[in-house]
Chains A and B, each alone.
Chain A
Amino acid sequence: MKPWGSPEQAGVGALPPNFSERPGDMTEPPVFDRIRTLVSGHDVVLFMKGDRHMPRCGFSNTVVQVLDVTGVDFVDVDVLADDEIREGIKAFTDWPTIPQLYVKGEFVGGCDIVREMYQTGELRDLLAQKGVPHAA
Chain B
Amino acid sequence: MPMLAHDLEALIRESFPDAEIEIQDLAGDGDHYRAIIRSEAFAGKSRVAQHQAVYAALKGRMGGELHALALDTGPK
Residues of A within 8 A of B (CB): 4, 7-13, 59, 90, 94-97, 107-113, 116-117
Contacts and interface: CB of A to CB of B under 8 A. Distances in A.
Query: Chain B CB within 10 Å — which of A107, A108, A110, A117 has the most?
Result: A110
Contacts of A11: 60-64
Give 9 closest A-B pairs by Cβ, nearest first.
A96-B63, A11-B60, A8-B63, A11-B64, A96-B62, A7-B67, A11-B63, A113-B47, A12-B60
- The secondary structure that dominates the B interface is mixed
Given A12-B55, A95-B52, A96-B55, A112 B71 contact: yes
A9 B62 CA distance: 10
Interface of B: 27, 31-32, 47-48, 51-52, 55-56, 58-64, 67-68, 70-72
B51 A10 contact: no
A13 B32 CA distance: 21
A89 to B, nearest CB: 12
